[in-house]
Amino acid sequence: MKPSIPKGTRDFSPTEVANRTYIMNTIKTAFETFGFQPIETPSFENSSTLMGKYGEEGDRLIFKILNSGDFLKKADEKLLSEKESTKVTAQISEKALRYDLTVPFARYVVQHQNEITFPFKRYQVQPVWRADRPQKGRFREFFQCDADVVGSKSLWQEVEFIKLYDTVFSKLGLEKTTIKINNRKILSGIAEVIGAQDKLIDFTVALDKLDKIGQEKVETEMLAKGITQEAIQKVQPLFSFDGTNEENLDALAAMLQSSEEGIKGVEELCFVINSVSELGLASANLEVDVTLARGLNYYTGAIFEVSAPEGVKMGSIGGGGRYDDLTGIFGLKDVSGVGISFGLDRIYLVLEELGLFKSVDLPKPKVLFINFGDAEALYSMKAIAELRKQNIKSELYPDAAKMKKQMNYANKREIEFVVLVGSQEVEKQEYTLKNMVSGEQTKCSLSELIEKIK
């Protein structure tokens, strides 16, 4: 039986690890430039921390961890015989792999609130797990790169996050990404104006599909959810919002003039759009997208989503939003926050598709000592110890193999220098240094060897 890995997971080659590290380091550097501090949380949490925080579908996608030992011992026999799996799960699984970094972050803030200086700006780069159906750009194990600010209601944070997105994607050479922005208050205002407050989620979920299935199918879905034809008629302008950001905001203000909450949302968006316009962006586009409706279970203000440059077929490569009471789920009320996430794996695929990865030098020694036998190897190891003290990456070929095999190894790994130490070199306390690029070969002392390799 051939060895394999679970669907939705991947192995990474040295080159892939180097490329992923390049993306992560670019993001981390930007996070720290913008004043964020790193934290880490456990890969698994108590089930009670995660369950019920992501809606019914999210709960279904959480990987549960079986209790250690005889996990069925305390399970209700009646539930087992009736195959009530959802009810049995609570009895046999007390822990689960984290689904995202946001809920563990909320737990962290509440648990460490007396040690934190607010507003608290944190970033986190760690893997998460979801029992999702694997497809292009969607995996069961993947990294999230999150940045959040909690303890501030200032809209300057939204402005900063747009600038942060622009900074990261510009540094990665990923130009012409589109940062889409909406506001939950605007969506609530629209539902209020058309008399469908009780169907906000149904309305927005259908509206969010506009660019995927078209206006006709969106209207059909709304009707199926009990939204009246009259209400749909009132939101016709939403189906053709193709003006400038300013024109779209003016149209929204006119549509929502009877909704206090809706107008508040328009005002917030105007502040963010105007501020970013004044400050400018390096390479990204900022677009008001009134159909954007992600995260309505928790977002209360701004909603962000980033799409790849035109022509690249990929889901969102980033997203986030404002939440007024995320820590309230753990008992700490009225702590407002806003955060964004970078989709590392999707960003990798986009950079790969566009050929934007720079040539990455894989970790390798600068010098390889050829192995002629144990006596020569011991002499070489003493020199290698001195070279490493000088932070020179050095390696001894482990076996006294044929010279051709050892030199082929050096060539394949593109090692710059090779040192030949035979019995004559040991006797004369010297080394033969070969430059693998020029082919030049010289005899030298240890101090000269260090200087030449440096």
Q: Is residue 292 helix, strand or coil? A: coil
Among residues 101, 179, 116, 189, the alpha carbon closest in space to that of 150 is found at 116
Q: Is residue 22 helix, strand or coil? A: helix
Residue 332, token pair as written in the block: 């700490």
Cα–Cα distance measured from residue 144 to residue 97, given in angstroms and rounded to the nearest whole number: 14
Is the separation of the CB atoms in 115 and 99 below 8 Å?
no
pLDDT of residue 81: 66
356-377 tens-digit pLDDT: 988 777 889 999 999 999 999 9
Check whether 421 has a pLDDT greater than 70.
Answer: yes
Cα 271 → chain centroid: 28
Cα–Cα distance measured from residue 407 to residue 419, given in angstroms and rounded to the nearest whole number: 11
> Per-residue pLDDT averaged across 44-71, rounded?
87
pLDDT of residue 340: 96
Lowest mean pLDDT among 30-34, 36-40, 111-115, 192-196: 192-196
Cα–Cα distance measured from residue 7 to residue 135, given in angstroms and rounded to the nearest whole number: 10
Q: What count of other Cβ atoms lies within 10 Å of the Cβ of residue 206?
A: 24
pLDDT of residue 78: 67
Mean pLDDT over each residue of the chain, to the nearest integer: 90
Among residues 340, 339, 299, 334, the alpha carbon closest in space to that of 110 is found at 334
Lowest mean pLDDT among 81-90, 215-224, 266-275, 407-416: 81-90
> Per-residue pLDDT averaged across 192-212, rounded?
79
- The percent of residues in the chain predicted with pLDDT above 90, rounded, is 66
Place of tokens 């993306």: 23
Cα–Cα distance measured from residue 92 to residue 66, given in angstroms and rounded to the nearest whole number: 6
Among residues 287, 285, 305, the alpha carbon closest in space to that of 295 is found at 305
pLDDT of residue 76: 66
Residue 279 main-chain phi, psi, to 5 deg? -80, -30
Cα–Cα distance measured from residue 213 to residue 222, given in angstroms and rounded to the nearest whole number: 13
DSSP 43: S
Cα–Cα distance measured from residue 195 to residue 56, given in angstroms and rounded to the nearest whole number: 26
Q: Which residue has the higher pLDDT, 385 or 327?
A: 385
pLDDT of residue 79: 65
313 to 173, 290, 397: CA distances (angstroms): 18, 22, 46
Check whether 71 has a pLDDT greater than 80.
Answer: no
Q: Is 304 exposed, middle or buried (0-12, 13-18, 19+ CB in 10 A)?
A: buried
Type of residue at 410: A
**Highest-confidence range of 52-56, 195-199, 336-340, by mean pLDDT?**
336-340
pLDDT of residue 22: 94
217-240 tens-digit pLDDT: 888 888 888 887 877 787 777 777
Is the separation of the CB atoms in 70 and 119 below 8 Å?
no
Q: What count of other Cβ atoms lies within 10 Å of the Cβ of residue 235?
A: 20
Is the separation of the CB atoms in 286 and 269 below 8 Å?
no
> Per-residue pLDDT averaged across 99-104, rounded?
93
> Per-residue pLDDT averaged across 114-141, rounded?
92
Q: Could you tell me the maximum CA-CA distance found in the chain, to the nearest angstrom?
A: 98
Residue 10, token pair as written in the block: 């991947």
Q: Is residue 54 helix, strand or coil? A: coil
How would residue 11 be classed by pLDDT, with cut points 50, 70 and 90? very high
pTM of the model: 0.86
Check whether 331 has a pLDDT greater than 80.
Answer: yes
pLDDT of residue 149: 96
DSSP 340: E
Among residues 174, 176, 180, the alpha carbon closest in space to that of 27 is found at 174
Is the separation of the CB atoms in 446 and 382 below 8 Å?
no
> What angle, 0 to 180 degrees and rounded to 10, lies between the N-to-C axes of helices 446-453 and 374-389?
60
Cα–Cα distance measured from residue 54 to residue 325, given in angstroms and rounded to the nearest whole number: 15
Check whether 80 has a pLDDT greater than 70.
Answer: no
Please name the residues in contact with 101: beta carbons below 8 A apart, sequence gap of 6 or more.
41, 124, 126, 128, 144, 146, 341
Please name the residues in contact with 369: beta carbons below 8 A apart, sequence gap of 6 or more.
377, 380, 383, 384, 394, 395, 396, 397, 418, 419, 421
Q: What count of other Cβ atoms lies within 10 Å of the Cβ of residue 119?
A: 17
Check whether 399 has a pLDDT greater than 90.
Answer: yes
Place of tokens 């209601």: 153
How would residue 53 be classed by pLDDT, with cut points 50, 70 and 90? confident
281-313 tens-digit pLDDT: 999 999 999 888 877 777 899 999 999 998 888
30-40 tens-digit pLDDT: 999 999 999 99
> Per-residue pLDDT averaged across 314-336, rounded?
89
pLDDT of residue 154: 96
pLDDT of residue 84: 64
How would residue 66 be classed by pLDDT, with cut points 50, 70 and 90? confident
Alpha helices in 280-373 (DSSP H): 344-353
